[in-house]
Homo-oligomer: A and B are copies of this chain.
Amino acid sequence: MSPQVTGTPVNQATPGPELPGLFARYRNSVEEALTRSVPESNGDDLFFPLRYHLGWVDQYGAPAESSMTQGKALRPTLCLFACEALAADTARALPAAAALELIHNFSLIHDDIQDQDVERRHQPTLWRLWGLPRALVAGNGLQSVGDLAILNVAGGEVPPERALRVSQILTESYIEMIQGQCLDLDFESRTEIVAGEYLQMIAYKTGALIRSGVEIGVLLATDDPVAFNAFSRFGSSIGRAFQIRDDFLGIWGDQATTGKPAGNDIRRRKKTFPVVFALENAGGNSREELLRIYGQEELTDPDVDNVLTILEMVGAQKQSHSITETSAQEALAALDPIALPAWAKYEAESLVDFLAHREF
């Protein structure tokens, strides 16, 4: 049974925004680029679990309902958007878009192993189906398939120097991602974490790959360093807005839209932003109570409710909203100096609005 959620969802009266048009605009292209990048499977090889994880086949190899199993493809969408906004073309960025999605998915396969998560996007996780060694190896395989995809960006509009630079940015960003994962692991065993450290951790863990996707889109469109820096800041701010909203939904989200039970991150004793904020700001007794509950192996429903009460008391929900809103505004402000076509300005606004207010 999932716990009663006692906090008041701020957006309860107004349902969150729909998936903005930008995702639909690139969905087919991203899908095709991914299809071109991941080899066919003979049903019994490395590529089979990859195709399963990507939502293309079910665990028995039958074609799957893709809409049910796939993610939003945020990173490739951002990459293609930056490229099209600046160069009125997306074709040259498709291999990079595929690479970004593949590398994001590689990190999910390994995350599921680390967190021992049994389900992802309403399906059993790879390690759950095929055991740890195979899932570990499949994750590595997906990363390598992504690495290979991005090298294919060379040719046509993209000179080899530029392709090398793009590969370098991608690789540097997932070293940052991994550094973020290390910090996140450190946080698991620490209780003195302040919000600033947490924001730095997510800037690495989530932000780096989102930012590099945007940067790569720019690099494939133009040499202009002003555009690069503006979009880079756009990407960083979007990453922060996205993650803090994710943290919000992990506690106060609706199971029907998120696919995860309410209070899920608390039950799993995750130290996401609201909890870190409470650890920093709760008074003596509340802080002790929070530490006591998070010190347990298993949390009961009343434990989860108690944590929710403490979060409510310290204003963790409001603070999460505030950071998301600020980051969303910073994202749009970063693009201000750049002359963009009207459609791109509109789409950037819709996207940022969605990321900051989404319910899924």
A108-167 residues with Cβ-Cβ distance < 8 A to B are 110, 113-114, 132-134, 136-137, 140-141, 143-145, 147-148, 151, 154, 159-161, 163-164, 167
- A182 CB-CB contact with B under 8 Å: yes
Chain B residues, Cβ within 8 Å of A197: none
Nearest CB on B from A2, distance (A) = 26
In contact, B179 and A133 (Cβ under 8 angstroms): no
A174 interface neighbour in B110, B133, B144, B171, Cβ under 8 Å? B144
Q: Quick one: given A175-B148, A178-B144, A179-B46, are A137 and B185 in contact (CB under 8 Å)? A: yes
- A45 CB-CB contact with B under 8 Å: yes
Among A136, A160, A161, max chain B CB count under 10 A is at A136
Nearest CB on B from A54, distance (A) = 16
- A11 CB-CB contact with B under 8 Å: no
In contact, B114 and A178 (Cβ under 8 angstroms): no
User: CB-nearest residue of chain B relative to A141?
Assistant: B178
User: CB-nearest residue of chain B relative to A113?
Assistant: B136
A181 interface neighbour in B44, B137, B151, Cβ under 8 Å? B137
Question: In the assembly, how many copies of this chain are there?
Answer: 2
- A168 CB-CB contact with B under 8 Å: yes
Q: Quick one: given A136-B136, A140-B143, are A172 and B148 in contact (CB under 8 Å)? A: yes
A246 CA / B64 CA spacing, docked (Å): 43
Nearest CB on B from A43, distance (A) = 12
Chain B residues, Cβ within 8 Å of A144: 171, 174-175, 178
Per DSSP, chain A at the interface is helix
Q: Mark A238-266, 1 if CB is under 8 A from B, else 0.
A: 00000000000000000000000000000
A159 CA / B134 CA spacing, docked (Å): 38
Q: Quick one: given A140-B143, A151-B168, are A182 and B45 in contact (CB under 8 Å)? A: yes
A172 CA / B148 CA spacing, docked (Å): 7
Nearest CB on B from A204, distance (A) = 10
Q: Quick one: given A148-B168, A175-B148, are A182 and B140 in contact (CB under 8 Å)? A: no
A143 interface neighbour in B143, B148, B154, B163, Cβ under 8 Å? B143
In contact, B164 and A151 (Cβ under 8 angstroms): yes
In contact, A46 and B182 (Cβ under 8 angstroms): yes
Chain B residues, Cβ within 8 Å of A114: 132-133, 136-137
A46 CA / B148 CA spacing, docked (Å): 24
User: CB-nearest residue of chain B relative to A154?
Assistant: B164
The 6 closest A-B pairs by CB, nearest first: A160-B160, A114-B133, A141-B178, A160-B161, A46-B182, A147-B171
Sample (10) of A-B pairs whose CB atoms are under 8 Å apart = A46-B178, A110-B136, A114-B136, A143-B143, A144-B171, A154-B161, A160-B161, A160-B164, A164-B164, A167-B167
Residues of A within 8 A of B (CB): 44-46, 110, 113-114, 132-134, 136-137, 140-141, 143-145, 147-148, 151, 154, 159-161, 163-164, 167-168, 171-172, 174-175, 178-179, 181-182, 185-186
Told that A114-B137, A141-B179 touch, could you supply 20 new A-B pairs with CB distance under 8 A? Answer: A44-B186, A45-B179, A46-B175, A110-B137, A113-B132, A113-B136, A134-B182, A137-B178, A137-B181, A137-B182, A141-B175, A141-B178, A144-B174, A147-B147, A147-B171, A148-B172, A151-B164, A160-B160, A160-B164, A163-B164
